[in-house]
Amino acid sequence: VTTIEGLSSNCDHALQKAWIEESVPQCGYCQAGQVMTAAALLQKNRNPSHGEIVAAMRGNICRCGTYPRIEKAIEKAAMIINETKTKS
Amino acid sequence: MSINRRNFLKICASTTGGLLLNVTLPETAVATGWTKGFDHLMVKIEADNTVIFMLTKQEMGQGISTGLSMVFADELGADLERMKVIQADFDQKYEHTLMGITGGSSSIRTCWQPVRLAAAIAREMLIRAAAESWRVSSAECYAEKSSVVHRPSSRSKTFGELAARASELPVPDDAKLKDPTEFMYIGKPLRNLRTKIMVTGDYKYGIDVSVPGMLFASIERSPVHQGTIKSFDDSEARKFAGVVDVIKIEKLVKPVSVGVPAWDFYYDYTVEEGLAVIATSTWAAIRARKKLRIVWDGGKNAGADSNTFTNNLKNVSESALSVNEAKGNVAQAFERASKVVEASYEIPYMAHCLMEPLNTVASVKGDYCEMWSGTQFAKRFAEEVSAVTGIPFQNVICHVLPAGGAFGRRWEPDFPIEAVLLSKELQKPVKVMWTREDDIQHDCYHAFQQDNHRVALDDKNMITAWNVDQYSCSKFLKGAPWNPYSYSIQNYRTRKIDLPSPVQTGPWRSVDDHKDVFTFESFIDEVAYSAKVEPLKFRLDLLTRPVVDHPDGESQKSVDADRLLTKQVLELAAEKSGWGTKSNLGIAVGRFNSHCAQVAEVDLDKGKLVVKKVTVAIHCGFVVNPLMVEAQLQGAVLYALQALKYGGINVRDGRVQQSNFHDYKMIRIDEVPQINVHIVPSADPPKGVGEPGVPPLAPAILNALHAATGKRIRKMPISKEDLV
């Protein structure tokens, strides 16, 4: 089991960067779960569509309503991952 | 603005050789009626150049830790990125009277000026210290990125280097606030400062608090509001591994709270009777709790039922209603009416559903109490704890923790009192943990309300009279404030009846406005259709029609200003949404300090409501951080959308029927509409954005649904049958 603490050693995972970039969280309480679900999605699918993102993420509730930025951040993280993969 | 010397209580060198200012600002310096003395505000600069900002408001997701830090850093000339933000505790010794209150979308509004004043004073002292050391004029120096710079020579010294010297200077009485053109941070779309610690798992909430020797409690509360324990058998629970004790908490009903007399939002609360299982872990406490055998006496609420409750309203006689507010001659206007339009609206009980379940750690030792709680209202918590336990108020310390959502629930003192009572009994630290089911079934709910509206129209289809009768379980309701939206009505009357509630109620994001705006803005839409006038035009006509008999010029002026803002947000929302070009749009407007209008665009897809787009227009005064404003309004729309689609707590045999997210649904990511937020540019003092986005959403959607389908829904939540 990987938890948010195990995602990266230095907050340098693409999702963490994208989450900061898009200023996703509000209260933050659900965000560890959101990030980890997104990590599982991106592991299986490097270019998720809108439909694939919402299908993968619909099990995670956010009461603050950060959903619009969650979607943007996942798209951004996918871009970061793909750029890194292309370069290497 | 200059600052008078007598406004300062004291300045003293901090123990670490830095600068510590305790600033007292007079009430008049704070541009709001919310503040009863912003007594102390600390500005702290350490010798190592760490600038410390004491955050006096709770962070619960609204972004106040970022917003106020921006305000403080900007006015001081500090480096925002390197600034340390410390959540201030509530402690009577420091007399932080305002700091214990986070609610009413008031944080920026109440702190904007005092925080800037305190920072400006500190900045001025640091600049003077630097100027003296260089033997130059302070007019040649400025503060930036936590240093003071001498402009002509480019010499600089850090705040840390200057702090000790600055602390020995007299307090300036001519510190000037920055001009908005000088702002570095304020007004910019800066990202949330706490995101990094949130996405690494380092952010600590109330639920993460742990103190040495702490025990854990899970409480089986009366399933019926204000019920009592008839008999119980805890022998099986006591046998469970890890269980330390089983303690009875007796029902506590506080009819009237004492405390801040000026604070008119104090009201009664109940701590439900129950059995607390005390164990060495949360898990053991929750498991053992299931082994309790309790026979309950439901008392007066034992037979309460949502259905009969609603039906009983029909039998309430008109004479039971009390007139809340009236103007003109309503009866006569109805007699002379060409047409009368009437409709009845109903809004149910609703739960808050915080992501972080309620919890508090309390440690009582003799005459001393320390507690850790994610509270919106630490002062009230401390006062109630003192009143209930007899522990002197000055001995009650309340540490304020960040909350995983609050929405008004953390205003109520039931959950900290439970922890304190248990700790007092055990004389050991206790953490009370609520489960999701506890949270949904023992909430202080959004109140049930039914509004019966009736208007008279003349032969030109103009409203001549408006009567609304409100049947409400709200603790707050003093009747809808007339006129909620500054519509010009010559004759009006609001009547109300306070209904006894079979469940506990409390503030819920936007409080009474959510109910009132739903019924008023739905009804005015109906009246517009009945009058055959386009609904936006109908509203604008009522806003431009002269107000007939306003008592004096001053109130006329404020009414005019208010009407102008209502008009501005309506017109902006209409313009940005393509109003008039589509047949599936609905509009509504509210005013929770800030004026907010919304246009919803809807579709029916195989009998299912699809909200495609919501256009939000807000006038919230000067904007500190547009990114945070957008986040708050998007969040408010989704919070309100949940209420409209899935809200509704039902009671049967006095017991709340819903218990978790399977039967009390939340909005998921796949049903989020496009939400566009537009801000009316303004140089007015900041107002507030946490709540104003909630009330207009439901009527905007229901009005859109009517425009698209001809169906008029007058009851929340929307049911499947409504859409057939």
pLDDT digits (tens, 9 = 90+) for B64-83: 999 999 999 999 999 999 99
Q: Is A57 on the interface with B (CB under 8 A)?
A: yes
Report which DSSP code applies to B653.
T
Q: Answer for the pair B594, B688: CB distance below 8 angstroms, yes or no.
A: yes
Query: How much of chain A is in helix, strand and coil states, percent to nearest 5?
Result: 60, 0, 40
Contact B199 A66 (CB under 8 A): no
Evaluated on CA atoms B647, B651, B655, B657, the torsion sign reads negative
What pLDDT band is residue A61 in, cutting at 50, 70 and 90? very high
Q: Is B421 helix (H, G, I), strand (E, B) or coil?
A: helix
Which residues does chain B have within 8 Å of residue A53's beta carbon, measured at their own beta carbons? 669
The Cα B311–Cα B304 span in angstroms is 12
pLDDT of residue B10: 37
pLDDT band at A88 (very low <50, low <70, confident <90, very high): low
Tens of pLDDT along B175-220? Answer: 899 999 999 999 999 999 999 999 999 999 999 999 999 999 999 9
Q: Is the pLDDT of residue B122 over 70?
A: yes
Chain B contact for A29 (CB, 8 A cutoff): yes
Question: What is the predicted pLDDT for the residue at B54?
Answer: 82
Q: How far apart are CA B527 and CA B532, in angstroms?
A: 8
Sign of CA dihedral B88, B89, B93, B97: positive
B236-253: per-residue pLDDT in tens?
999 999 999 999 999 999
Average pLDDT over residues B2-19: 42
Rounded to a whole number of angstroms, the distance from the CA of A73 to the nearest CA of chain B is 12
Q: Does B63 touch chain A (CB under 8 A)?
A: yes
Q: Which of chain B's residues have a Cβ under 8 Å away from the Cβ of A66? A: 631, 635
pTM for this model (two decimals): 0.94
Closest CA of chain B from A16, distance in Å: 6
Q: How far is B486 from chain A (nearest CA, A)?
A: 31
Res. A81: pLDDT tops 80: yes
| pLDDT for the residue B482 | 53
Confidence class for position B106, pLDDT limits 50, 70, 90:
confident
Q: Which residue in the set B354, B634, B637 is minimally distant from A63, CB to CB?
A: B354
- Least Cα distance to B412 among B266, B212, B574 occurs for B266
Please state the rounded mean pLDDT for residues B29-35: 34
Q: How far is B258 from chain A (nearest CA, A)?
A: 31
Place B22 in a pLDDT band, splitting at 50, 70 and 90. low
Contact B353 A23 (CB under 8 A): no
Cα-Cα end-to-end distance for chain A: 28
Split at pLDDT 50, 70, 90, the class of B159 is very high
**Beta-carbon separation of B199 and A58 below 8 A:** no
pLDDT of B163 reads 87
Place of tokens 């307090």: B171
Checking if the pLDDT of B99 tops 80, the result is no
* Average of per-residue pLDDT values in chain B: 89
* DSSP string of B502-561, one letter each residue: SS-B---TTHHHHHHHHHHHHHHHHHHHHTT--HHHHHHHHHHSPPS--SSHHHHHHHHH
The verdict on a CB contact (< 8 Å) between B199 and A31 is: yes
What pLDDT digit, counting tens, does each position of B376-427 carry?
Answer: 988 889 989 999 999 998 899 999 999 999 999 999 999 999 999 999 999 9
- What is the rounded average pLDDT of the residues B536-542? 95
Portion of chain B with pLDDT greater than 90, in percent: 69
B356·A69 Cβ contact <8 A: no
A32–B contact, CB cutoff 8 A? yes
Q: Which of A9-13, B12-16, B90-94 has the lowest mean pLDDT?
A: B12-16
Tens digits of residue pLDDT in B465-514: 999 999 988 877 554 455 556 788 889 898 988 888 999 999 999 988 99
Q: What is the C-alpha to C-alpha distance for residues B115 and B103, in angstroms, rounded to an integer? A: 18
**pLDDT tens digits, one per residue of B653-684:** 999 999 999 999 999 999 999 999 999 999 99
Share of chain B above pLDDT 70, in %: 89
Contact B631 A53 (CB under 8 A): no
Residue B6, pLDDT score: 36
- Cα–Cα distance, B671 to B647 (Å, whole number): 15
pLDDT of residue B556: 72
> What is the mean pLDDT of the segment spanning B6-11?
36
Q: Average of pLDDT values for B274-298?
A: 98
pLDDT at B553: 55
Calculate how close chain B gets to A79, using CA atoms only, in Å: 19
> What pLDDT was estimated at residue B500?
85
What pLDDT score does B150 carry? 98
Q: Does B239 touch chain A (CB under 8 A)?
A: no
Q: Which helix (H) or strand (E) holds B344?
A: strand B339-347
A20 contacts in B (CB within 8 Å)?
A: 191, 195-196, 199
Q: Which helix (H) or strand (E) holds B468?
A: strand B463-472
Q: What is the pLDDT of residue B259?
A: 46
pLDDT digits (tens, 9 = 90+) for B335-357: 999 999 999 999 999 999 999 99
Alpha helix positions (H), B329-487 = 330-335, 378-389, 414-426, 436-441
Tell me the mean pLDDT in the region A58-69. Answer: 98
- State how far the Cα of B679 lies from the Cα of B660, in Å rounded to an integer: 36
Predicted local confidence at residue B4, as pLDDT: 38
Q: How does pLDDT run across B549-592, given as a tens digit for each residue?
A: 554 455 677 788 889 999 999 999 999 999 999 999 999 999 99
pLDDT at A15 over 60: yes
Q: Does B627 have pLDDT greater than 60?
A: yes
Task: Answer whether residue B720 shows pLDDT above 90.
Answer: no
Please name which of B289, B296, B290, B293 lies closest in space to residue B229, comparing C-alpha atoms. Answer: B296
Q: How much is the pLDDT for B87? A: 85
CA distances from B132 to B48, B137, B162, B238, B616 (A): 21, 8, 10, 71, 52
Tell me which of B614, B669, B670 to substitute to probe the interface with A (most A C-beta atoms closer than 10 Å): B669
Report, as an integer, the average pLDDT of B90-113: 72
Question: Which among B60, B199, B668 has the least Cβ separation from residue A20?
Answer: B199
pLDDT at B499: 84
* Parallel, antiparallel or unpaired: strands B293-297 and B463-472: unpaired
The predicted pLDDT at position B252 comes to: 95
Q: What is the pLDDT of residue B9?
A: 32
For residue B286, what pLDDT is reported? 98
Report residue B321: phi and psi, to 5°: -80, 140
Chain A residues lying within 8 Å of B63, measured CB to CB: 26
The answer, yes or no, to whether residue A47 has pLDDT greater than 80, is yes
Confidence category of residue B167, pLDDT binned at 50, 70, 90: confident
Please tell me if residue A61 touches chain B, with a CB cutoff of 8 Å: yes
**pLDDT given at position B21:** 63
